[in-house]
């Protein structure tokens, strides 16, 4: 089919003639040389625009667009011919793409990343197939493919959510037997959903006793079971050594299990991989007493310089006029507290500097920084001379190696436990790892209600504002606690949610025992009240009943000999003592809370709002005693049955009064 350019356009038209063939369109230029445009190079069927006498044929192709005047007798027949030939050469690619899409959506959760990838892949097909009216006859399969393309590109957020829900329901049915047997007890519906959902960024909000460790283990096993990831490509990260050991112990019961480690061990592995040997960890980093002694001796050394001595005595508010008096001050109780503060500030100062977050501190604490920066410089010099690093260096160095791509992650899936305890530098390391590839997935389990380690750098905002830092993702919740009954759940939940900044959760208790959650005991003092509580429990509880005696401070707990005496006196009970912080993750049949008075040494602890150390730590929000409230919530949720609250005769804690009301 050959079309000669009308004579009137002989000197203005780009081509002398156009030929329509099965394999493409042949264009004859002014030199008589033919140019072949294959149908695969043409973006959509050539368009015929009818003018008064002549028509213009517009062809959009991979190298641009051309418009050629031609004379056509039967416009409809010509248009159908063009469409048929174009469709013949393009339909296979579309149908294969749609088939691949449908298979992918059947096997993979429609995550944010997958949705973005699919939309990017389909945009060229939308331009080709959805921007013109199909008038030629096409197959039923092609009609369905075009309809699927159109439907998918028009999905709203509610359509996506509906599709995701149907996928989750399908996978829950398909893998029901797996979820029934992967752990000792069948997983709950919420636990199963957390395993099936596979967004690139996923946060699972837990609660006390909701079985978060079971989900961590089940998630890793589900990834391997469904062949979404090999065990060697999964990394499980824990906050501390004890939690990591528990995960290893639980995970090692399965035929294949992933790597489990702490962030420090991860840092060690990254550095060793890049440098070829494990770094030396400074003795000061591993021994707090030695580090504090180093700080003291460094201060005395620096104080030999008159200007520093003036700066230090002003900051420390001590009246030392010579080195001996400054030494005496540092070896006293007040100086000892200052040494503890400075020693702690060194690590946070180093991290704040690395995170470029010192500006808010420098204005208000210039005197303190004037004293502490030289100490940090001496500390860094000591580490350099020792050819060693501390734990902060370990993470910071790892971040550098990952960002520079000197370390390429062998893991594609990162599962993080106790996510509410993550610090800014650990979050930065995690983000550096997961952004190395679009195929990397992050799954975090955390409970903002139990975020109690701000003093060591934990930043709750990474949990409460998860997607703002890590990117688009999915946040779900565990909804059943297996530890305690509904009444204790209601009391503790009301208490923690008095702070509106805490994430609201709908949790129900597996147990519905009709028992008073709180028992108030009031004696002449805490020791007498403790005996009263233990006597009551010894009389009513079964043999071997566990009881945790808890206090905000270690000094308020019975010492080892006293506990031994109490154990002999109340032999039906199994007694243990812990601080509120130490009790996190533990449970007992009953708990007894001591030291519930207000003020110094009581609950809530008095916070050092105007101190440098406090300023170096992550912001804690505006609600009064937010972290102390979370800590008290942790203490309230250790018991399976009842919490005994030792009520002082005078000056009771505001938390105690709040519960009493």
- Cβ atoms of residues 226 and 175 within 8 Å: yes
State the residue for tokens 């594609």: 412
In terms of C-beta density within 10 A (0-12 exposed, 13-18 middle, 19 or more buried), how is residue 603 classed?
buried
Cβ atoms of residues 368 and 312 within 8 Å: no
Phi-psi region of 618 (alpha: psi -120 to 50; beta: other; left: phi over 0): beta
Q: Are the C-beta atoms of 313 and 300 separated by less than 8 Å? A: no
**Alpha carbon distance 396, 373 (integer Å):** 19
Dihedral sign (CA 481, 485, 488, 489): positive
Contact predicate 458/451, CB 8 Å? yes
Smallest CA-to-CA distance from 446 within 196, 171, 80, 202 is with 202
Which CA distances in Å does 143 have to 103, 138, 148, 200?
18, 7, 9, 33
544 labelled binding-site residue: no
Residue 569 Cα to chain centre, angstroms? 47
Question: Using an 8 Å Cβ cutoff, are 446 and 474 in contact?
Answer: no
Residue 384 burial (C-beta neighbours within 10 Å; 0-12, 13-18, 19+): exposed
Q: Which two tokens stand for residue 486?
A: 């509904």
Report whether 523 belongs to an annotated binding site. no
Rounded CA-CA distance 286/622 in Å is 35
Compute CA 121 distance to the chain's CA centroid, rounded to the nearest angstrom.
28
The answer to whether 344 is annotated as binding is: no
C-alpha closest to that of 211 among 487, 414, 447, 441: 447
Beta strands 17-20; 24-28: pairing state = antiparallel
Residue 207 in marked binding region: yes
CA distance 137 to 8: 35
CB 449, CB 208: distance < 8 Å:
yes
> Quick one: tokens of 270?
């990254």
- The reply to whether 24 sits in an annotated binding site is no
The response to whether 213 counts as a known ligand-binding position is yes
For 194, list phi and psi in degrees, rounded to 5. Answer: -60, -30
Query: Is the CB of residue 334 less than 8 Å from the CB of residue 340?
Result: no
Cα 284 to Cα 264: distance, rounded to the nearest angstrom: 16
Residue bearing tokens 């009881």: 547
What are the start-end ranges of the H helices in 234-322?
241-251, 263-275, 283-286, 288-302, 306-316
Structure tokens at 437: 């590839």
Residue numbering of the annotated binding site for ATP: 206-213
Q: Which residues are annotated as a binding site?
A: 206-213
């Amino acid at each position: 089919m050959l079309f000669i350019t009308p004579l009137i356009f002989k000197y203005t038209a780009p081509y002398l003639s156009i030929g329509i063939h099965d394999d493409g369109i042949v264009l004859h230029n002014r030199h008589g040389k033919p140019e072949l445009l294959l149908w695969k190079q043409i973006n959509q069927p050539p368009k015929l625009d009818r003018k008064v006498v002549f028509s213009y044929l517009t062809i959009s192709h991979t190298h641009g667009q051309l418009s050629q005047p031609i004379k056509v007798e039967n416009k409809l027949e010509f248009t159908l011919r063009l469409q048929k030939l174009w469709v013949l050469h393009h339909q296979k690619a579309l149908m294969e793409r749609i088939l691949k899409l449908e298979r992918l959506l059947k096997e993979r959760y429609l995550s944010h990343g997958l949705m973005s990838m699919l939309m990017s892949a389909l945009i060229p097909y939308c331009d080709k197939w959805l921007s013109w009216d199909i008038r030629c006859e096409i197959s039923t399969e092609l009609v369905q493919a075009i309809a699927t393309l159109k439907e998918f590109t028009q999905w709203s957020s509610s359509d996506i959510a509906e599709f995701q829900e149907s996928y989750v329901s399908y996978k829950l049915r398909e893998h029901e037997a797996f979820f029934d047997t992967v752990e000792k007890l069948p997983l709950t519906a919420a636990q199963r959903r957390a395993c099936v959902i596979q967004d690139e960024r996923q946060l699972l909000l837990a609660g006390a006793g909701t079985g978060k460790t079971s989900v961590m283990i089940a998630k890793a096993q589900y990834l391997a079971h469904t062949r979404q990831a090999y065990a060697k490509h999964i990394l499980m990260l824990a906050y501390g050594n004890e939690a990591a050991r528990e995960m290893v112990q639980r995970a090692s019961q399965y035929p294949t299990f992933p790597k489990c480690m702490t962030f420090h061990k991860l840092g060690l592995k990254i550095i060793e991989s890049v440098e070829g040997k494990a770094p030396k960890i400074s003795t000061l980093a591993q021994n707090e007493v030695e580090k504090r002694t180093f700080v003291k001796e460094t201060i005395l050394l620096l104080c030999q310089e008159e200007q520093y001595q003036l700066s230090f005595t002003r900051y420390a508010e001590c009246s030392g006029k010579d080195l001996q008096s400054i030494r005496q001050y540092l070896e006293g109780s007040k100086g000892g507290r200052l040494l503890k503060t400075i020693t702690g500030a060194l690590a946070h100062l180093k991290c704040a500097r690395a995170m470029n977050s010192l500006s808010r501190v420098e204005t208000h604490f210039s005197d303190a920084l004037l004293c502490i920066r030289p100490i940090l410089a001496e500390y860094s010099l000591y580490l350099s001379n020792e050819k060693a690093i501390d734990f902060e260096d370990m993470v910071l160095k790892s971040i550098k190696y990952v960002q520079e791509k000197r370390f390429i992650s062998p893991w594609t899936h990162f599962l993080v436990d106790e996510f509410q305890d993550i610090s800014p530098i650990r979050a930065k390391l995690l983000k550096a790892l997961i952004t190395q590839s679009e195929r990397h997935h992050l799954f975090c389990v955390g409970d903002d209600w139990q975020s109690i380690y701000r003093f060591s750098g934990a930043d709750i905002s990474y949990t409460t504002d998860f997607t703002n830092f890590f990117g688009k993702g999915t946040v779900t919740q565990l909804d059943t606690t297996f530890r305690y009954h509904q009444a204790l759940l209601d009391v503790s939940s009301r208490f923690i949610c008095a702070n509106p900044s805490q994430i609201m959760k709908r949790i129900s208790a597996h147990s519905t025992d009709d028992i008073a959650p709180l028992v108030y005991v009031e004696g002449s003092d805490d020791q007498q009240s403790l005996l009263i509580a233990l006597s009551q429990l010894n009389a009513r509880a079964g043999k071997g009943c566990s009881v945790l005696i808890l206090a905000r401070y270690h000094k308020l707990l019975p010492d080892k000999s006293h506990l031994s005496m109490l154990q002999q006196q109340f032999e039906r009970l199994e007694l243990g003592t812990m601080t509120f912080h130490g009790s996190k993750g533990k449970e007992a049949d009953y708990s007894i809370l001591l030291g519930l008075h207000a003020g110094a040494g009581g609950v809530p602890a008095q916070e050092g709002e105007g101190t440098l150390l406090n300023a170096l730590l992550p912001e804690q929000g505006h609600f009064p005693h937010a972290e102390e409230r979370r800590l008290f919530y942790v203490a309230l949720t250790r018991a399976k049955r009842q919490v005994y609250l030792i009520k002082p005769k005078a000056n009771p804690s505001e938390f105690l009064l709040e519960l009493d009301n």
